Structure 1
Amino acid sequence: MDSLVGSNHAGRNWWDLQHYTIDIETDIDNKRLSGIVSIKYKVIGSGHVMMIDLQAPMLITKVTSGGKIIPFKQQGRFWWIDKNSEGKVGKIDSIMIEYNGSPKVASNPPWDGGLIWNKDEKGRPYVGTACQGDGASLWWPCKEIQSDEPDMGVDLFFQAPKDLTVVSNGRLLSSTIVDAVKKRWHWRVTQPINNYNVTMNIGQYERIAEIYEGKKGPLDVSFYVLDYNLEKGMELFPEIKLMLECFESRIGPYPFYEDGYKMIETSFLGMEHQSGIAYGNKFKRGYSGRDRSNSGYGLLWDFILVHESGHEWFGNSITSKDINDSWIHEGFTTYLETVYTECLSGKEAAEKYVIGQRKIITNKKPLINQYGVNFDAPGDIYDKGASLIHTIRTIMDDDEKFFAMLQNICKKYYHSSVSSDELEAYMIKESKLNLKPIFEQYLRHTDIPTLQYTIQDDVMTLAWTKVIPDFKMPVLLVTKQGNRKWITASDKPVSFRLNGDFDHWDENIYCEYKLVE
């Protein structure tokens, strides 16, 4: 079953997503949804059946195409629809799926996926969604694979009680009264979007808005907060602009100018919902008031605002083809926390921040494991991924070149999906360094390289241990006289004469050091 979820098999590989129209009526009192999802797609190959994901207890009740009822059958979370591509390669086709049910309720969002049917502090309905990992098919039928996003975006219609506000991705096109008790909202996303990023938020919201003059011109920036948190939202709002200024200057323009930037207060901690960032940090500094790095610098800014917004570049614009490569999302985005610390407090502070995060790394599982099976990536994709990127930056020893490389990555893979192999090859090309053994060691193995060294008189001998065969990586030695010396070490011992008294190794390279007496 995992291979059906995680692979691009015969039920998926012959059709390419073009557009979703999602039309949902909410029944908040009974925690139910009913709706119609229209899927426009392009036929790109030969196929005889279409697979759609929709998880229990949600049920598909009817499928139509071209005005005709289309037969379908259920196999667990998979729904097999009698569509084929005979004689249609290159053509645009569509299906319309009617469905309903009581979607899974998230017991611990965002880590446990599902619908969040909450009440705010005044006892009013407060609804949200969080489904990364578990999948958007928890609450609407879709093609649940990251490598295929709807090229032309999504139209989102929601019907809800008229005294509440529905906030979703993209731009609000209309809100119209349906009857005495209901209102209908229409949001539009014009850019490709991951399924798990599609969001529905319902509550007593107030909007804070401003135009940000960014790298690509005027950008609509909004922050939707519960009405009684309006003052707190206005106090936090300027940090959104600081974040945008920092990231645009270091890694390039915000990737979704067409759909605007939006942050939405939620009852759960946060999620990187594209052009509708979920924010639940309760207006505290750090990560719910904590500094994950224990450096002190993590309490100078709002973690959820910075981290989840960073995903707009890495995760939302640049998406891993397989979730087994999720280090691309989380490693780079976690490193953007270091970049933001540097924007605020300087490079030395940023180094202390990323080094401080290493205490969280467990090294129990490799960052990359098995493809095509919906593999649940380990938590180390965050902090170990960030330390890998910082190690590469340190080895490059040229910040201008490093940030140019990040900007080129954001340009090359803009609004597209990429595998780790492809990204690794591109970074090797851009850096002009042999990073292949470094990627292999840090991504696909758990052992952290240990530099074993001896000092006899003024001669040092060193070699890497706990590494793959033929591993090579430079290290930076600092003498008591302040001299810095780069040494390319391998798994074979090498000796050299010290130019001064040895003092320490540069900590910015993520490894361990062992002096052999």
Structure 2
Amino acid sequence: MTLRQLTIVLAAGASALAASVCAQEHAPPLAERTGESDLPLEGARAGEHIEHASLSILVDPAHRQIAGAILYRIVATAPLDRLALDLDPRFAISDVSVDDTAIAPGRWRNPDGLLTIDLPRPLAAGDTAILALRYRGAPHVAANPPWEGGMTWSETPDGQPWIASTVQGEGCDLFWPCIDSSAHRIDTMDLLVTVPEALTAAGNGRLIGTTDNDDGTRTFHWRARNPSNYGIALQIAPYELARRDYASRFGNIVPIRFWHLPGHDDGVNRLLGEMEDFLAFFESTVGPYPFADEKAGIAETPHLGMEHQTINAYGNGFARDPLGYDWLLHHEFAHEWFGNQLTHASINHMWLHEGLGTWMQPLYLERTRGRMQYDAEMWRYRTQIASRVPLVSPDAVRPDYNDSDAGWGTDIYYKGAWVLHTLRHLVGDEVLFPAITRLVYGTDDPRPGAIRPVTRTTDDFRRILEDKSGRDLRWFFDAYFTRADLPRLASAREGGDLLLEWQTPSRYPFEMPVEVEIDGNRVSVPMTGGRAKLALDSGDRHVLLDPDNRILRADDAIAAWRAAQEERREAAAAE
């Protein structure tokens, strides 16, 4: 079946889709498996790779339903007698075939969100198969996008459909058949989205073409290379398009494209200028924009934002900020490097997306507004750190982003940024920034046209840093990533000496050097074995530890303030 045939099949099924409408209030709850993303690759999911995906989706705003058709080229990486994909079981599936051989309904099943298809013939490792199927239904509706995923069916101020998908927490299987794992990247993907003719579907990658279907609909054909699974998005509205091209320091041109609602030209033009500044910052700090052969895209959405690859969702309302930039646009754009180019191997290492992306904001302020802005933003971040659970959980433990008691969903942003802030103090810019470049690209010399996404763990970052610095950093990573309690710096006066000791549950001595200011003069104190003795010569000298607040450590004042804040919230909730 060709891409055009896929579109025709969907158009022919539009009337059946409308006839099958179920009221949203009677929609089934989200299946347990579908509600979880990034489950370990096991069974058939571990032995297959989607080399090319053609996904056609007909969107029916009036009935809040979709009809989809897929045509996947799947390569067996191990012997297979069945195929497996993730797909929300609320969808009705039909017309399943493998290599043009129809698969009877009894030989495929999807009771819980793991769609399993018996093969007409076994596949050996290296064999390929073409899978085709159709599905339709009402996607799960997002209760609180983007933090709780699903489809958002909204309206523009003049009453036209405004539709967006957000699936990071729950995964791509909320609206299309996929391998819902960060460890799996499709090589190339064609996405054909059919919508009412007054609407535009802004998509991932490059726009191949637009087709008027002579039935009141239009089909937008997008093509993306190596897309992140949760980064595939539906973003649909009566959009207008603003364009700007950026001349990169690496000699190529980056197309900047902004799909926005009518009447927002002033805000859009301002943000296009900011996007040029962001590109200059990220390319000089990290490396070349990874998807310059496609675009740096933005779509205005009815939710706050999300890092959809090459088509970032933006819903910050063009708000002015005293810091002089749009923090939301900057943060989501950072994910093109940290999330879409560099992808964590599992959700346990999600700080690699969010911590690195968050730290880029004060770094940008340092570049554009000065060191005071950097320090002020870092201190604001410091007050948000809970550190009740490890930043990187053991592989057997799946952290919960929305567990407010644990606070992990906040720590991956703010604690992650602060660990990088402390690393900067430990190893210096000359080590840290080249290490980030290698982490993101897999090379020290990334070049446009030769960039492909990489999958990373926290240990990968440690090994790169150790190679760059020539230092064993297991003590640092153990203390900050695998332990919940922050290192505590204990100090005492003993005669004319100052005694310092790092206290941490880490299995290694915490050997973070400490800068000490004595009557206005500063000295860096090595903490060999986690301890040090510093002669003061006098008991009345004024001593200040870590005067520039470069080290992430336990802080009793912040802990007491956070406890008081929580007590006030609980009291207010009880009233």
TM-score, normalising length: structure 2:
0.83
Partner of 1:503: 544
C-alpha separation between the residues in 2 aligned to 1:87 and 1:28? Answer: 40
Distance in 1, Cα, partners of 2:263 & 2:440: 38
Corresponding residue number in structure 2 for 1:281: 316
> Cα offset for 1:345?
1.3
1:211 aligned partner: 245
In structure 1, distance between residues paired with 2:53 and 2:400: 26
Taking the TM superposition and a 5 Å limit, the aligned residue runs for 1:295-310 are 299-310=323-334
CA distance in 1, matches of 2:255, 2:426: 38
Letter in 2 for 1:389: L
For residues 194-236 of structure 1, the C-alpha deviation after alignment (integer angstroms, 9 at most, x for no partner) is 1110011111111111110113411111111101212221122
The Cα shift of 1:147 comes to 0.2
State the partner residue of 1:451. 489
SS in 1 for 2:70: strand
Specify the alignment match of 2:563 in structure 1: none
* CA pair 137-374 structure 1, distance change in 2 beyond 3 A: farther
Alpha-carbon distance change, 321 to 494 in structure 1, aligned in 2, over 3 angstroms: same
The structure-2 alpha-carbon separation of the partners of 1:455 and 1:372, relative to structure 1 and needing over 3 Å to count, comes to: closer
Q: 1:282 to 1:89 in 2, by over 3 A?
A: same
User: Which residue identity does 1:251 align to in structure 2?
Assistant: V
Q: 1:163 to 1:435 in 2, by over 3 A?
A: same
Structure 2 equivalent of residue 292 of structure 1: none
- 1:83-482, aligned counterparts within 5 Å? 83=119, 86=122, 88-151=124-187, 153-189=188-224, 191-216=225-250, 217-286=252-321, 299-371=323-395, 375-377=399-401, 378-379=408-409, 380-396=411-427, 398-412=428-442, 414-482=452-520
| Structure 1 residue 44 corresponds to structure 2 residue 80 | no
Decide whether the 8 Å contact of 2:435 with 2:468 is kept in 1: yes
The C-alpha deviation readout for 1:105-153, integer Å capped at 9, x for no partner, is 11110011001110011111101110101111111111111101012x2
Shift of 1:407: 1.8
Distance verdict in 2 for CA 1:243–1:125, change over 3 Å = same
Query: Residues of 1 paired with 2:430 and 2:522: CA distance?
Result: 20
Question: What residue is the counterpart of 2:27 in the other structure?
Answer: none
263-272 vs 422-431, which moves further: 422-431
Q: Secondary structure at the match of 2:68?
A: strand
Checking the alignment, whether the CA contact within 8 Å between 1:322 and 1:374 is kept in structure 2 is: no
Structure 1 residues without counterparts, runs of 5 or longer: 287-295
How many residues are treated as equivalent by the alignment?
Answer: 501
- Cα distance in 2 for partners of 1:513, 1:502 equals 17
User: What's the C-alpha RMSD, in Å, of the aligned pairs?
Assistant: 2.2
Contact in 2 for aligned 1:324/1:376 (Cα 8 Å): no
Structure 1 window deviating more from structure 2 (90-99 vs 496-505): it is 496-505
2:39 is the alignment partner of 1:6: yes
Deviations 1:25-71 (A, max 9, x none): 11110000001122222221122222211113223223112111123
What is the rounded CA distance, in whole Å, between the counterparts of 2:117 and 2:434 in structure 1? 47
In the aligned structure 2, how far is the partner of 1:278 from the partner of 1:10?
A: 34
The 2-side partners of 1:173 and 1:320 are apart by 30
Contact 2:95-2:102 within 8 A present in 1 as well: yes
Give the structure with the larger strand fraction.
1
Aligned-residue offset at 1:90: 1.8
Displacement of 1:480 in angstroms is 4.3
The alpha-carbon deviation at position 386 of structure 1 amounts to 0.6
For 1:462, the aligned partner's letter is: L
Select between 506-515 and 378-387 the one with higher mean Cα deviation: 506-515
In structure 2, what residue type is equivalent to 1:256? F
What residue identity is the alignment partner of 1:502? V
Does the CA contact (< 8 Å) of 1:50 and 1:81 recur in 2?
A: yes
2:98, 2:119 within 8 Å by CA — same for their partners in 1?
Answer: no
The TM-score with structure 1 as length reference comes to 0.92
Letter in 2 for 1:488: P
Please say if residues 525 and 532 of structure 2, whose CA atoms lie closer than 8 Å, have aligned partners that are also in contact: no
Which range is displaced more, 270-279 or 503-512?
Answer: 503-512
Kept after mapping to 2: 8 A contact 1:450/1:514: no
Note if contact 2:246-2:256 (Cα within 8 Å) is conserved in structure 1: yes
Structure 2 residue identity aligned to 1:25: L
| SS of aligned partner of 1:6 | coil
CA distance in 2, matches of 1:489, 1:348: 28
Q: 1:263 to 1:97 in 2, by over 3 A?
A: same
Distance in 2, Cα, partners of 1:319 & 1:427: 18
Q: Greater CA deviation, 199-208 or 480-489?
A: 480-489
Ranked by relative contact order (alpha carbons within 8 Å, sequence separation 6 or more), the top structure is 1
Cα separation, 2, equivalents of 1:86 and 1:180? 42
Change (3 A) 1:113 1:159: same
Aligned residue identity for 2:437? Q
Distance 1:373 1:173 in 2: 42
Structure 1 residue 350, shift from structure 2 partner: 1.3
CA deviation after TM superposition for structure 1 residue 433, in Å:
2.8
Letter in 2 for 1:512: A
Instruction: Tell me the secondary structure at the aligned position of residue 185 of structure 2.
Output: coil
Distance 1:347 1:19, change over 3 A: farther
- Percent of matched pairs sharing the same residue: 28
Amino acid in structure 1 at the alignment position of 2:554: E
Hey, what does 1:293 align to over in structure 2? Answer: none
How far apart are 1:501 and its partner, in Å? Answer: 4.9
| Counterpart secondary structure, 2:367 | helix
> Partners in 2 of 1:435 and 1:448 — Cα distance?
17
Pairwise CA distance, 1:512: 3.2
Q: What is the SS of the residue equivalent to 1:234?
A: helix
CA deviation after TM superposition for structure 1 residue 426, in Å: 1.8
Aligned to 2:9: none
Question: Equivalents in 2 of 1:22, 1:484: separation in Å?
Answer: 62
Tell me which moved more, 312-321 or 41-50. Answer: 41-50
Q: Shift of the alpha carbon at 1:514?
A: 8.2
| CA contact 2:185–2:227 (8 Å) conserved in 1 | yes
Runs of 5+ consecutive residues of structure 2 not aligned to the other structure = 1-31, 402-407, 444-451, 558-575
1:60 and 2:57 matched: no
